[in-house]
Amino acid sequence: MKNEYSAVNHYINMVVARIDRKRTKLKRSWARWQFDRSIYRHTIKNHDKVIADAELALKNKEIYEAENAYAASHDPLVRQGHALKKQAEQRFKDRHAGKNIERVIIQVPDPAFSPAGYSLFTNLAESLYFIGIPTQILGWDDDTKGIIYKFNPTVLLSSDHASYLERIDWEEIGRYRETKQLKIGLTASLAEYGNTPLDHRLGWAKKHEIDFYYSFRDEAYVSERKEYKPFFDLGYKILYLPFGANILHYYPVAGFNQDIDFVLIASKKREHTIFMKDIVKRHYGFIDGPGWKHAPNFKFNRDRDRYIYARTKVGLNVHLPEQIDWACEVNERTYQLAACGVPQIIDHPKLLEKLFSKDALFIADTPKQYSEYFETIINDPEAGQERALIAQQEVFEKHTTFHRADSFMQQLNALHTK
C-alpha cells in the first residue's frame, strides 16, 4: 500500500511540475508579447529607414571615413577612436608575417544558421590574416578536399558541435594527414551549455586525433570549473580566445548627429523584457536582430552597423544568465559598442570588473537602475561621453580581435615546445 501511495504521490508531483513549467512559459510569452506591444511606435515605423540610411552611408564611406572628415569632427569620441584605430593597426599589421610557419583554415557557419558563430569565426579569420598568418575560410557548403589541397593548411579550427563537424569530410582530412602535418583544434564546449554529453565527444576526438581545444571563455573560469576536468585528464591543452572588437568593422565614423536615443542589435532574449521595458516604451530607438517581430528580414552586416551606432546616444546591453552567474565572459557587443564610441548601459556580468575599469561603463544591477542610467545619459550627454571615452580607449588598447589573434598564435606556437 505504501508503494502505491508513493507512486501516486510521485505522479501528482510530476503533473504539478509540468503545470508549473507551462505556467512559467506562458508568463514569459505574455511578458514578451507585452514588451513587443509597448515598443515606441516610431522605433518600429522607422526601423527599415534607419537600415536604408546606414546602407546608403556605407556606400559613401569614402566621404565619412576620409582623413579630412575625421580631422574636421568636433566629436572627441570620433577623433580619439580614429587615432586609436590607426595606432592598433600599426602595432599589429603583419606582426607574424615571415615569423610563423602556420597556415590556418577556419570553418565558418552561414550567418543565417548562426549569426554569433559567423561573427566569432570570421573575426578570427580576418584578424589572423591581418597579423600576417595565412588564413583561409572553410565555408558552410565548401568542399573539404578542394579547399585543403589548394590551401595546404597546418591548422584546422572548428566547433565541437555536430552541426559543424558533419559538414567536414573527415576521411579526406585523414588522407591529407597521411602526408602532411595538420593540427586540429575544436571549441572546448560543455554539455551544460546545450551540447551533447562530453564523454561521447571526447571519444570521437580521440578517434579522429584531435590535437587541442580552445575556448572563448576566461582562462581562470575554465581552470576552476570542474566540468572542464575531462579535457585535462585526457591530456588536452585548452587555448584561450576571448571575445573582442574587430576594429576592421567596428569603429567610429565622422559626420553624424546622435538623433536616435538608443540602439539594441541582438537576438531577442527574456532579459530584454526585464531591463528595457520602460526605455523602449518611452523612447525612440533602433532594435534589430533575430527573433524581433518587427525585424523579420534581419541580415547580419558588421559594416552597416557602425553607421547605425554613429547616430545613437545610448547602447543597451544585457547578458545571458550564465554570464551573470559565472566569471566566464562578456559578450561581443560590450566591446563593439565601446569601440564605436557609444555610451553603454550594461547589466552586471561577473567578469566585467576584470576587463574594464569601473568608470568605463554604466553598470546596472537592477532594472530600475538601468532606466535611471538611461535618463542620466539622455539628460547629460557629457556624462555618457566621459565614460565612453574611457571604454573606447581600453578596448583599442587591450581588447581588439588583433590582441586575441596575437595571443592565440603565441599559445599555438607554445604547443610545439611542451
Straight-line distance from the first to the last Cα atom of the chain, in angstroms, rounded to the nearest whole number: 64
Question: Are 257 and 390 part of one and the same domain?
Answer: yes
Residues 337 and 385 in one domain: yes
Task: Give a yes or no: residue 90 inside a domain.
Answer: no
Q: Count of CB atoms within 10 A of residue 284's CB?
A: 15
SS3 (DSSP) at 238 = strand
More confident residue, 170 or 192: 170
User: To which residue does cell 564523454 refer?
Assistant: 199
Quote the pLDDT of residue 268.
Answer: 86
**CATH code for the domain of 388:** 3.40.50.2000
pLDDT at residue 37 in the model: 81
| pLDDT at residue 4 in the model | 55
Q: What is the pLDDT of residue 270?
A: 80
pLDDT digits (tens, 9 = 90+) for 386-403: 999 999 999 999 999 999
Integer Cα distance of 126 and 211 in angstroms:
23
Domain match, 384 and 269 both: yes
Same domain, 374 and 407: no
Q: pLDDT tens across 207-258, in order?
A: 999 999 999 999 999 999 999 999 999 999 999 999 999 999 999 999 999 9
Domain assignment present for 25? no
Please choose, from the candidates 135, 208, 128, 205, the residue with its C-alpha nearest in 3D space to the C-alpha of residue 176.
Answer: 208
Does residue 145 fall inside a structural domain?
yes
Q: What is the pLDDT of residue 303?
A: 96
Q: How confident is the model at residue 193 (pLDDT cuts 50, 70, 90)?
A: confident
Q: Copy the grid coordinates of residue 147.
A: 579547399
308 and 352 share one domain: yes
Q: Are residues 274 and 234 in the same domain?
A: no
- Classify residue 376: in a domain, yes or no: yes
**211 and 227: one domain?**
yes
Q: For the whole prediction, is pTM greater than 0.85?
A: yes
Given pLDDT bands bounded at 50, 70 and 90, which one contains residue 269? Answer: confident
In which domain, by residue range, is 131 found? 103-244+403-417
Cell of 211: 590535437
**Can you give the pLDDT at residue 27?**
45
Sign of the dihedral defined by the CA atoms of residues 272, 277, 281, 285, in that order: negative
Same domain? For 67 and 149 the reply is no
pLDDT of residue 26: 46
Contact between 286 and 260 under an 8 Å Cβ cutoff? The reply is yes
- pLDDT above 50 for 24: no
Q: How does the average pLDDT of the chain come out, rounded?
A: 92
Residue 183 lies in a domain: yes
Residue 233 shares a structural domain with residue 118: yes
Between CA 392 and CA 75 the distance in angstroms is: 13
| Type of residue at 11 | Y
Q: Are 157 and 281 contained in the same domain?
A: no
Q: What are phi and psi of 165, to 5 degrees?
A: -65, -30
- Per DSSP, what are the bridge partners of residue 107? 138
Residue 98 belongs to a domain: no
* pLDDT, average across residues 103-117: 92
Report if residue 352 sits inside a domain. yes
Residue type (1 letter), 272:
H
Same domain for 175 and 110, yes or no, is yes
Are residues 381 and 256 part of one domain? yes
- The total number of structural domains that make up the chain: 2
- C-alpha 56/C-alpha 364 separation (Å) is 35
Is 62 among the domain residues? yes
